[in-house]
A and B are shown apart, each in its own frame.
Chain A
Amino acid sequence: MRPFVSEPEFDVVIIGSGIAGALAAYRLAMAKKKVLILEAGGVAPESLGRWAMVQNFIASSSKAPDSPFCGEDVLPVDSKVDTTKRPPLYRFVQPNAVNGDNYYFYPDPPNPTNPNRFKSYYERLVGGSTWHWQAIYVRMLPNDFRMLDHYGTGFNWPISYRDIEPWYVDAEYEMGVAGSDEENDHYYERLFRAYRSKRYPMPALTPSYLDRQVAAAIDETALSEFPKQRLKVNTVPHAINSREYRDRPACDGHTSCVPLCPTKARYEAIIHIEKALKEGAILRSQCVVTKLELDDKKKNVQRVIYRRWDGDEDWVSGRIVVLAANGIENPRILLFSGAANSSDAVGRYLMDHPIKQSYALAPKPLFPFRGPQTTSDIAAFRDGSFRRDFAGFKTSIKNDGWSSVSANITAPRGASIPAPHPDTPNANGTILDFVENQKLFGAGLKKTVQDHATCQITLNSACEQLPLPDNRVSLATNNLDAFGIPRPQIKYSLYDGQNYVSKSFETILKVHKLVFDKLGIPEKNQFLQKDPGIYGGSGHIMGTTIMGNDPKKSVVDRHCRAHDHPNLFILGSSVFPTSSTANPTSTVAALSLRAAERIKLELGG
């Protein structure tokens, strides 16, 4: 490894290029700070504009005009060309850049005195891809920041809804969020005091036909034991364009937010990585950060040590270091570094939004498999005095039939042949079931597919989870990954001693049943997943470097700065002291922009 140089190379080194890192990188690069983004992974092929093509060109020895377009999938390949030959033979079905003689046919031998090789050429290529998330963009509620005060559970955040509200707005305009101002005024503000200081940048995504059938059927009904929690269907705010916004198109409903939005109507973090790079930030991909090296006094982060995929180790330094590598990797890096852990809180309080899904077959078509995967939800149980007793939750109404149900994954196709259900023949709902198990073909198959898939509905409820010290990420010191770093060791219990989650699941199932009943679905066609062993994860990794005012009990302060190290900031949902019922990205984005402002002040300007 290179010898240490005390002068920091960058103003800011950001570890991680997700939304937390991307937004901070952009704002700091805009402020003319010298920013480096370190990312453990590589670059998705079509994600970074022309990044991949530039990389190809840089890597090529020839620097030929077609070197940006190498790879199997860009130019037409002549499969007969022996690719084991070294140096490699030109293998594309087009004129090479030398003289085109791999493609053009010349009847005459070269004429040195009167040259006869035509030298113009052309390229043939395709473009475009990116990453996956549903882009549900829901703010936390005011009471979510005061769980200990209001409900005697979890922690209070060191900031309030009022503190973060302007940053929610900032992020919503930066990313492009579609939501209903009217619903916010009449529902979220009236019920939960979740005011907005500025209107949404765009109107909400149009609710689906399916949403409207559910809304009409449940008509603000309530469970008898919770009469205040009236079940109302509202549109869900999304970081998806409902109209053209900042050069990206409106969503036209490809129904594939996960795994991929093919039109870029949905916001993706790569958009701000691209913007940060345009503003002068530098990106090093395939660099796995292993350690933050502290100075002799253990006060500041002196170097960031990383390993490239080829095994080489290197380091970089910055006046400020931002750890934005997610709720598993953040604590893993800190623990391996022996950093930021005077509180012994690093890695603890690991949380997710556990999911209970139920699915059913409606008596008449709801026409799923169209539109964004979710356009509406039921938020009645997001807040209330019941949170003293069990976890709040919100219920998404899915527009993609049963395709997200693990037992029926990718319905109505299916991924594997399911076990037959003789007592509940409608429970599978995939063509693999209809053909392999039910031996259907011809008109009978067509009618069954039609009658079944058009009537599929899934309710997906995700609940909050208590921050428990024993739910934690630590280091598996005897189990190293391919880079020689201890793998993350996870201790996690879904259910807690207070039955906070299990009671929530019970209520969720009652809500699902009530909705299904109101839709007139007979019990034999309701599939409530009562088994306590059946649950899902939301991919919302929270806790593990929690925020707080007390350095003895928390890892970062109200500005996301590590209590122990003044030049280290930690971004992402790992700083959440409690999980709330909100999808975390909105709060991650708001906190990142807020922290970027603080970092700018630290750096002077």
Chain B
Amino acid sequence: MKHLDRLRSQSPEDFFLRRQFLGQLAATGAIAGAWPALAQTTEGWDDGDPLCRVPYTELSAPDGYELDAAFLKSFIGLSQALTGVKPLDQNLAGELMDRYARHKQLSPTLKKLIDKYRSIAPGDTQPSDDVLKQNFFPDTPANDDAKNLAEGAKQLVYLWYVSAFYLVIPDSNPPTKAWVYGTREQYRRALLWSVIDAHAPMTPGGRPGHWAFAPKT
């Protein structure tokens, strides 16, 4: 198992993102048991700070399918339908699709999500909310496949809105869910912040004093 390569810092902000994750773990109490172990090691920066990263396996390629232009088009269509934001940036979509498709645990689910979307959105016509709910957000999933599809749909919403998956930390006991972030650019461009006319914490919001006025929407 290796750490997500993209979380290896190429900039100060990536370091900050890991700190933020650490803060979230602290907030949930998940860190309490692990912290003393860290304190017994040498300087945290020497070997990186394992608590700042959620380790997971990233595949070299999607699990049994190709990421071509048609797949991206469907990914964008499904993403627009589930996030309510349109149009979505195609380049960011490509990055997020790649992250989702190469996540070992999630990779097969993305293929199923896209297949289902294509079946209910022939010619990329956006399905109605009722149809989307029935297929991706049912009140009570009918079986394991439906449950898996619903979980996958949530992860897609989180990926766009937060730039993170919300997953169980591997080997955590008791199983503990945490946000698993990507790159700093993805963090900064997460939809949540533009939707509320703000900026992701620890990223620039504008010129000094911009907070004195209502944002120009």
B89 CB–A CB distance under 8 Å: no
A277 CB–B CB distance under 8 Å: no
How many Å from the CB of A261 to the closest CB on chain B?
Answer: 9
Which stretch in B41-49, B66-74, B92-100, B108-116 binds the other chain?
A: B41-49
B24 touches A253 (CB 8 A): no
B13 touches A262 (CB 8 A): yes
Which stretch in B79-87, B117-125, B167-175 binds the other chain?
A: B79-87
How many Å from the CB of A449 to the closest CB on chain B?
Answer: 5
Contact of B19 among A72, A126, A259, A443 (CB under 8 A): A259
Chain A residues closer than 8 Å to B32, beta-carbon distance: none
Provide the bound-state CA to CA distance between A77 and B211, in Å: 40
A129 touches B15 (CB 8 A): yes
Chain B residues closer than 8 Å to A44, beta-carbon distance: 45
Tell whether A442 pairs with B211 under 8 Å between CB atoms, given A42-B43, A73-B8, A370-B199. Answer: no
B193 touches A369 (CB 8 A): yes
Contact of B9 among A73, A79, A409, A445 (CB under 8 A): A73
Provide the bound-state CA to CA distance between A520 and B127, in Å: 39
Fill in one digit per residue for B1-29: 1 if any A CB lies within 8 Å of its CB, else 0. 01001001111111110011001100110
A126 touches B10 (CB 8 A): yes
Tell whether A206 pairs with B211 under 8 Å between CB atoms, given A79-B5, A441-B133, A441-B137. Answer: yes
B142 CB–A CB distance under 8 Å: no
A410 CB–B CB distance under 8 Å: yes
B76 CB–A CB distance under 8 Å: no
Chain A residues closer than 8 Å to B23, beta-carbon distance: 259, 410
We find that the number of chain B residues with CB closer than 8 angstroms to chain A is 69
A453 CB–B CB distance under 8 Å: yes
B82 touches A253 (CB 8 A): no
* Chain B, 156-176, CB within 8 A of any chain A CB: 157-158, 161-162, 166
Contact of B46 among A71, A309, A369 (CB under 8 A): A71
Tell whether A128 pairs with B12 under 8 Å between CB atoms, given A206-B208, A442-B84, A446-B84. Answer: yes
Provide the bound-state CA to CA distance between A580 and B72, in Å: 60
B195 CB–A CB distance under 8 Å: yes
Provide the bound-state CA to CA distance between A436 and B14, in Å: 28
Fill in one digit per residue for A344-370: 1 if any B CB lies within 8 Å of its CB, else 0. 000000000000000000000101111
B149 CB–A CB distance under 8 Å: no
Chain A residues closer than 8 Å to B44, beta-carbon distance: 42, 45
A129 touches B204 (CB 8 A): no
Provide the bound-state CA to CA distance between A371 and B46, in Å: 34
Tell whether A252 pairs with B208 under 8 Å between CB atoms, given A72-B48, A415-B28. Answer: yes
Provide the bound-state CA to CA distance between A77 and B48, in Å: 12
Provide the bound-state CA to CA distance between A581 and B148, in Å: 53
Chain B residues closer than 8 Å to A256, beta-carbon distance: 16, 201-202
B203 CB–A CB distance under 8 Å: yes
B34 CB–A CB distance under 8 Å: no
Contact residues on A (Cβ < 8 Å of other chain), bracket: 35 or more
Provide the bound-state CA to CA distance between A513 and B45, in Å: 46
A71 touches B158 (CB 8 A): no
Chain B residues closer than 8 Å to A412, beta-carbon distance: 192, 196
B157 touches A449 (CB 8 A): no
* Chain A, 26-72, CB within 8 A of any chain B CB: 42-46, 52, 55, 70-72
Chain A residues closer than 8 Å to B139, beta-carbon distance: 439
A367 touches B192 (CB 8 A): no
Contact of B205 among A52, A371, A446 (CB under 8 A): A371
How many Å from the CB of B78 to the closest CB on chain A?
Answer: 11
B136 CB–A CB distance under 8 Å: yes
A252 touches B206 (CB 8 A): yes
Provide the bound-state CA to CA distance between A464 and B58, in Å: 51
Chain A residues closer than 8 Å to B85, beta-carbon distance: 446
Fill in one digit per residue for B133-158: 1 if any A CB lies within 8 Å of its CB, else 0. 10011010000000000000110011
B15 touches A446 (CB 8 A): no
A208 CB–B CB distance under 8 Å: yes
| Chain B residue nearest in CB terms to A436 | B154
Chain B residues closer than 8 Å to A250, beta-carbon distance: 208
Fill in one digit per residue for A184-212: 1 if any B CB lies within 8 Å of its CB, else 0. 00000000000000000000001111001
Fill in one digit per residue for A491-535: 1 if any B CB lies within 8 Å of its CB, else 0. 000000000000000000000000000000000000000000000
Chain A residues closer than 8 Å to B208, beta-carbon distance: 206, 242, 250-253
Tell whether A365 pairs with B214 under 8 Å between CB atoms, given A252-B208, A254-B202, A435-B154. Answer: yes
Chain A residues closer than 8 Å to B204, beta-carbon distance: 252-254
Contact of A416 among B28, B82, B203, B214 (CB under 8 A): B28
Provide the bound-state CA to CA distance between A454 and B133, in Å: 26
Chain A residues closer than 8 Å to B40, beta-carbon distance: 309, 482
Tell whether A413 pairs with B192 under 8 Å between CB atoms, given A435-B154, A441-B153. Answer: yes
B43 touches A43 (CB 8 A): yes
How many Å from the CB of A451 to the closest CB on chain B?
Answer: 9
How many Å from the CB of A78 to the closest CB on chain B?
Answer: 12
Provide the bound-state CA to CA distance between A442 and B192, in Å: 13
| Chain A residue nearest in CB terms to B11 | A126
Chain A residues closer than 8 Å to B211, beta-carbon distance: 206, 208-209, 253, 370-372, 375, 399
A152 CB–B CB distance under 8 Å: no
Chain A residues closer than 8 Å to B84, beta-carbon distance: 441-447
B177 touches A449 (CB 8 A): no
Contact of A370 among B42, B179, B192, B215 (CB under 8 A): B215
| Chain A residue nearest in CB terms to B80 | A442
B64 CB–A CB distance under 8 Å: no
How many Å from the CB of A242 to the closest CB on chain B?
Answer: 7
B215 touches A367 (CB 8 A): yes
A454 touches B161 (CB 8 A): no
B33 CB–A CB distance under 8 Å: no
How many Å from the CB of A134 to the closest CB on chain B?
Answer: 13
Chain A residues closer than 8 Å to B51, beta-carbon distance: none
- Residue with the greatest number of chain A CB neighbours at <10 A, chosen from B42, B81, B211: B211
* Chain A, 424-449, CB within 8 A of any chain B CB: 431-432, 435-436, 439, 441-447, 449
Subset of 28 A-B contacts with CB under 8 Å: A71-B45, A71-B48, A126-B11, A206-B209, A207-B212, A212-B212, A242-B208, A250-B208, A253-B209, A255-B202, A256-B201, A262-B13, A262-B202, A309-B40, A367-B215, A369-B193, A371-B205, A410-B23, A410-B27, A412-B192, A435-B157, A441-B153, A445-B84, A450-B195, A450-B196, A453-B196, A453-B198, A482-B39
13 additional A-B residue pairs with CB within 8 Å, beyond A126-B11, A254-B199, A444-B129: A44-B45, A46-B15, A73-B8, A79-B5, A255-B198, A255-B205, A260-B16, A368-B198, A370-B211, A413-B162, A442-B81, A446-B83, A453-B192
Q: Which 8 A-B pairs have the closest CB atoms?
A: A371-B211, A446-B84, A369-B198, A45-B45, A256-B202, A72-B48, A73-B9, A443-B84
Chain B residues engaging chain A, CB cutoff 8 angstroms:
2, 5, 8-16, 19-20, 23-24, 27-28, 36, 39-40, 42-48, 81-85, 129, 132-133, 136-137, 139, 153-154, 157-158, 161-162, 166, 177, 179, 192-193, 195-199, 201-215
